[in-house]
Amino acid sequence: MTREDPVKHFFLWPAVLIVLVMAIFPLIYSLANSFMSLRLIPPRPARFVGLENYADLMVDDRFWQVVSTTSFIAFTSVTLQFVIGFAIALSLVKRVPGADFFRVSFLLPMLVAPVAVALVARQILNPTMGPLNQLTSFFGFSNLPFLTETKWALGSLIVVEIWQWTPLVILLLLAGLQSLPEDVYEAAELENASGWQQFWGITFPLMLPMSAAVYFIRVVESFKIIDTVFVMTGGGPGISTETLTLYAYQEGFKKFNLGYTSALSFMFLAVVLIISLVYLAILKPHLEKYK
């Protein structure tokens, strides 16, 4: 069979069609809906409204607040996950006693479903029956409003995110650390470089591409947070812990405002895309430097 053989179409087109139907069609369908006024409650015939849904979103205070809240949760939790994860990965890469046990036990949280984690966290943070508040009460502190005051609630969500997803960061960074060349460190040893100098001079630069990828993946994933927030705070108090996906859920599945929800989904995509592009643009010179 040559490149010009028409039989190639027989093999190519089914694959192209499957990709179109399974991947592209839902996106196009959703995009088309975003240009419509499409409400199931009360049931109304679909009506083309052009960019009206997007224009409404741009002036929707609640949309910008959830963008801000989601960004805060995502960047704060991922930054801390990265710092803690890097530190633990560095300690695990060394031949310390019990390293295998710690590797397995550190990975356990990420194997639990986020909803289950959120339920456990909600119980632990319960002001009357939760062990954490019982402990603080024992030391004379009053019950802390972990889930019912904005600052505490945001902090609690971030802590739960860190607890659950730091293991993934550890796993990926550990793989990166184990692949670093030994001879560079041996040379550094010969030059009497301290541990700190080895970290900043060798480990960190060599790990930068891997670190950038890990941070990027986690930020994108964190922007999708919904289950933890839904279970722990329901987005409250008010809408102070509401995230983009939870907002989309409320619009789509409680109010059945499908046109607006589709526009919201594409705006979500735009927000993540813009953040990604900015992130990569900032990082590009550093990555080039250590290539």
Enumerate binding residues for other proteins (CB under 8 A). Answer: 39-43, 122, 126-130, 133, 143, 145, 147-150, 233-239, 250, 253-257
Beta-bridge mates of residue 39: 257
Least gap, CB of 268 to other proteins (angstroms): 19
Least gap, CB of 113 to other proteins (angstroms): 17
The 3-state secondary structure of 115-145, one letter per residue: HHHHHHHHHHCCCCCCHHHHHHHHCCCCCCC
Identify which of 230, 275, 278 has the alpha carbon closest to the alpha carbon of residue 250.
230
Residue 79 or 143 with smaller CB distance to other proteins: 143
Least gap, CB of 270 to other proteins (angstroms): 24
Residue 57 or 92 with smaller CB distance to other proteins: 57
Cα gap 238→206, rounded to integer Å:
45
Least gap, CB of 112 to other proteins (angstroms): 21
Residue 101 or 138 with smaller CB distance to other proteins: 138
Beta-bridge mates of residue 36: 48
Residue 255 or 284 with smaller CB distance to other proteins: 255
Residue 201 or 236 with smaller CB distance to other proteins: 236
Cα gap 35→184, rounded to integer Å:
57
Helix H or strand E encompassing 173: helix 150-178
Least gap, CB of 150 to other proteins (angstroms): 7
Identify which of 31, 35, 30 has the alpha carbon closest to the alpha carbon of residue 52.
35
